[in-house]
Amino acid sequence: MSSSSRALVLNLYKVLLRESQKFNSYNYRTYAIRRVRDAFREKKNVGDVHEIQSLIHRARENLQIIQRQVTIGQLYTADKLIIESSGNQ
């Protein structure tokens, strides 16, 4: 991976995690963070330029989904889960 695309991927990773953190729902938030981490870890050794490009494209699509869904979650909130009270989060 060239250094420029490496920086791009790292940046995408950070933004995805930052946006996932904003999910209001405990389950969506923890899932999004876990899924983003695991997906980047799983693909960290991909060397093929075309595959990297398509993965970047997918990550960008997912980022947009996360951003839209975070907004919706903030519009329609629910009470926190029992597990979020006792210093778990």
Partner 1 sequence: MLCRAAVRGLLPAGSCRRVAAVRAAHMGQTDLHDEKSLEKPELRPLYMDVQATSPLDPRVLDRMLPYLVNYYGNPHSRTHAYGWESEKAMEKAREQVASLIGADPREIIFTSGATESNNVAIKGVARFYKSRKKHIITTQTEHKCVLDSCRSLEAEGFQVSYLPVQKNGLLDLKVLEKAIQPDTSLVSVMTVNNEIGVTQPVADIGYLCSSRKVFFHTDAAQAVGKIKLNVNQMKIDLMSISGHKIYGPKGVGALYVRRRPRIRLEPLISGGGQERGLRSGTVPTPLAVGIGAACEVSQQELEYDHKRISYLSQRLVKNIMNNIPEVVLNGDPEQRYPGCINLSFAYVEGESLLMALKDVALSSGSACTSASLEPSYVLRAIGADEDLAHSSIRFGIGRFTTEEEVDYTVNKCIQEVKRLREMSPLWEMVQDGIDLKSIQWTQH
Give contact residues for partner 1 (rule: CB under 8 A): 23, 26-28, 30-32, 35, 38, 62, 65-66, 68-69, 72-73, 78-85, 88
CA distances to 3, 12, 51, 53 from 48, rounded to whole Å, are 15, 18, 5, 9
Q: Which is nearer to partner 1, 50 or 82 (CB)?
A: 82
Give min distance, CB of 1 to partner 1, in A: 23
Q: Which is nearer to partner 1, 49 or 83 (CB)?
A: 83
DSSP per residue, 15-35: HHHHHHTT-SSHHHHHHHHHH
* Chain center to CA of 61: 11
Q: Which is nearer to partner 1, 1 or 55 (CB)?
A: 55
Give min distance, CB of 4 to partner 1, in A: 28
Residues in the chain, overall count: 89
